[in-house]
Amino acid sequence: MNAPQAGGGLMSRGGLHFLLLGCAREPDQAETRALARAIGLTWGWPLGPVGGVLGLAEDASRVLFDRCFPGAIALLGRVYSLGTPASSDPRLDEFADLLELLMAYRKDRTIHGEWVARAVAAGCMGDNHLWEDLGLASRASLSALLNAHFPTLVEQNTHNLRWKRFFYRQLCQRAEISLCKAPSCGVCSDYAACFGGSEDFSPARRSVG
């Protein structure tokens, strides 16, 4: 679970996240923080062409680093596969499906909008709450980021589902698959796991203040 330091040593994935932020043009932006954390989380994972990050080819990854993390471009020459999932890990297919979903709904059709979509899709590969795996301060911060970049998708979360669960539910609906165990959400034993807290930024929450 380690990644290369700029000097050739090893660091944790969390350390890589902070290294990227230290090299960032705009380290306080939510988009920059999400990109840095997502890159660190999936460093070396086979999400796309060898030598790239977030499923990008190496040359496209260099454009991302040049725009966002110019002081860390040298790291791209050492995208090691340390502690990566096996090629059969279902999360690799999930990344492609999530990216397709987010790309379809992105508001910003430029390369910057694509980078945010890739960061969010990669963040869903983590084991913690999505806002944590994207290095954000809270779920409200994540909701604000999603609303800024994927407003028409956010509008569909009318029942205040937790964002990661909402995205996967969207994928199931696209594939016409139902994995829910109960006939309705209100009687399901997983209700608390699916539905979020009062800090949510979804349209349903905003409409009632």
For residue 206, the model assigns a pLDDT of: 34
Residue with the bigger pLDDT between 190 and 33: it is 33
Cα–Cα distance measured from residue 89 to residue 63, given in angstroms and rounded to the nearest whole number? 28
What average pLDDT is seen over the chain? 81
pLDDT 10s digits, 143-154: 999 999 999 999
Domain count, the chain: 1
Per-residue model confidence as pLDDT tens digits over 96-120: 999 999 999 999 999 999 999 999 9
**Residue 93 has what pLDDT?**
80
Comparing 79 with 160, the larger pLDDT belongs to: 160
Phi/psi region, residue 83 (left: phi>0; alpha: psi -120 to 50; beta: rest), is left
**Two structure tokens written together for 138:** 């809270």
CB 126 within 8 A of CB 135: no
- Tell me: the pLDDT tens digits for 43-77? 888 888 878 999 999 999 999 999 999 999 988 87
- Domain ranges, residue 171: 2-207
pLDDT at 33 > cutoff 90: yes
Nearest to 159 by CA among 188, 193, 194: 194
